């Protein structure tokens, strides 16, 4: 798929992107050059990772080889970006740099890496089980072949959405912060079952199966969420009683404001 790839930072998300390419033999481990920050991380990957990749500790003499790779996947924490120093190579063409850093804009990436064509990507934690959602904002000057190459990096572990950059912050809020919100809702609903006398494990199982069934019902029958709500809400019944409590507690407004807050926080990293 490409001659070689550098992975700058090799945490869970980076592994989730790269490992399926090895599993499906779309990429040879010997063509991947990984840069990590500490000796402990380096040794952990060498001992625990299933594939024998080239791996270097940051600031080592050999680590400069990553700047010769035609594609760089930037997967450090946003606050670590200042520690990454671009090394210009002798190529006539500009290589690709793909950033999955939350909130870091293309403008900032282009200033930081002037010798690269930059791409900004937002993805989420379900990518670690091949169920991710990935939003891509293309930088300037990428051709169709380069865009296809980048999409192939992610298509084996996630569903891809091509978006203008100004929508990536709200995409992040919904899809990347969203799993934590859903986890909180699952936890709270299962605690409700616990309060009613169910064992914790059973209550959590019932909540998760209920959510999966509800999502599948909406998708398979193409009904709206409002139609589903009306299907299970009868006059004076249990569901309208529950919904009344949620409305009185402003749950709907709280969820909306949570998404807006996450989006605004993402913009602050620019």
**Which CATH number do you get for residue 200?**
1.10.3730.10
Residues 103 and 229 in one domain: no
- Give the CATH number, domain containing residue 107: 3.40.50.720
Q: Do 147 and 47 fall into the same domain?
A: yes
Q: What's the pLDDT tens digit per position in 145-188?
A: 999 999 999 999 999 999 999 999 999 999 999 999 999 999 99
Asked whether residue 171 is domain-assigned, the answer is: no
Percent of the chain with pLDDT over 90: 81
Q: What is the mean pLDDT of the chain?
A: 93
Q: Look at the alpha carbons of 47, 53, 58, 59 in this order and tell me if their dihedral is positive or negative.
A: positive
Domain stops at, among 164, 188, 211:
164
Give residue 2's pLDDT: 60
Count of structural domains, the chain: 2
pLDDT in tens, 60-82: 888 888 998 999 999 998 888 88
For residues 77 and 131, membership in a common domain is answered with yes
Stated as kind and residue range, the H or E segment containing 162 is strand 158-162
Amino acid 90: pLDDT: 59
pLDDT of 91 reads 63
Q: Say if 172 falls within a structural domain.
A: no
End residue of a domain, out of 164, 186, 209? 164
Range of the domain at 66: 5-164
- The arithmetic mean of pLDDT across residues 231-247, rounded, is 97
Phi, psi at 6, each rounded to 5°: -100, 135
| Global pTM exceeds 0.75 | yes
pLDDT in tens, 21-56: 999 999 999 999 999 988 899 999 999 999 999 999
CB atoms within 10 A of CB 266: 23
Q: Residue 193: what are its φ and ψ, rounded to 5°?
A: -65, -40
Residue 92: predicted pLDDT: 56
Assess whether 127 and 160 both reside in one domain: yes
């Amino acid at each position: 798929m490409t001659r070689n790839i550098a992975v700058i930072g090799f945490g869970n998300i980076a592994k989730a992107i790269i490992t399926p390419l090895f599993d499906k033999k779309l990429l040879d481990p010997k063509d991947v050059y990984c840069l990590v920050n500490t000796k402990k991380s380096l040794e952990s990957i060498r001992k625990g990772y299933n594939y024998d990749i080239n791996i270097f500790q940051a600031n080592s003499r050999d680590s400069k080889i990553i700047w010769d790779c035609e594609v760089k996947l930037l997967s450090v924490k946003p606050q670590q970006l200042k520690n990454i120093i671009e090394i210009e190579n002798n190529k006539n063409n500009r290589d690709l740099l793909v950033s999955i850093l939350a909130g870091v804009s293309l403008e900032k990436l282009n200033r930081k890496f002037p010798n690269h064509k930059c791409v900004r990507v937002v993805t989420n934690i379900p990518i670690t089980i091949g169920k991710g959602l990935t939003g891509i904002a293309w930088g300037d000057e990428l051709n169709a072949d380069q865009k296809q190459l980048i999409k192939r990096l992610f298509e084996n572990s996630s569903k891809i959405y091509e978006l203008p950059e100004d929508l990536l912050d709200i995409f992040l809020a919904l899809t990347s912060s969203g799993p934590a919100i859903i986890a909180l809702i699952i936890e709270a609903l299962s605690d409700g079952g616990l309060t009613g006398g169910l064992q914790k494990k059973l209550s959590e199982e019932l909540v998760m199966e209920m959510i999966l069934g509800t999502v599948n019902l909406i998708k398979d029958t193409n009904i709206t969420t409002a139609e589903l709500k009306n299907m299970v809400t009868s006059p004076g019944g249990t569901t309208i009683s529950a919904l009344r409590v949620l409305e009185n507690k402003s749950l709907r407004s709280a969820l909306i404001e949570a998404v807006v807050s996450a989006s605004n926080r993402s913009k602050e990293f620019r």
